[in-house]
């Protein structure tokens, strides 16, 4: 039997599990979701993530030939 799962099958399985929950369960799940943070907190958190990821990427030496250069032409 084929052990590979395609993106379409994965999406169908995910949508099927959401549909199986029903509207009442989805409403209850969204009611329990935490309130969104203030915009200042989101901005600070995003900046912190970018800084953390930049430091992580800076640890790796990549030669220029890793990804070829390309041009976008309109």
**pLDDT average, residue stretch 50-63:** 90
Percent residues over pLDDT 70 in the chain: 64
Provide the pLDDT for residue 47: 94
- Given a cut of 80, whether residue 27 has pLDDT beyond it is no
**pLDDT average, residue stretch 41-65:** 89
| Buried-exposed string 30-53: b where 16+ CB fall within 10 A, e elsewhere | eeeeeeeeeeeeeeeeeeeeeeee
**pLDDT average, residue stretch 18-25:** 59
**Is the whole-model pTM more than 0.85?**
no
Give SS3 for 42: helix
Q: Report how far residue 48's alpha carbon sits from residue 42's, in angstroms, rounded to the nearest whole number.
A: 10
Of the ranges 7-21, 31-45, 54-68, the best mean pLDDT one: 54-68
């Amino acid at each position: 039997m084929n052990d590979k799962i395609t993106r379409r099958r994965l999406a169908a399985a995910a949508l099927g599990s959401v549909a199986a929950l029903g509207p009442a369960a989805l409403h209850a799940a969204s009611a329990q979701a935490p309130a969104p943070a203030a915009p200042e907190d989101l901005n600070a958190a995003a900046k912190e993530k970018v800084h953390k990821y930049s430091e992580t990427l800076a640890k790796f030496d990549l030669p220029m030939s890793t990804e070829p250069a390309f041009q976008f032409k309109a």
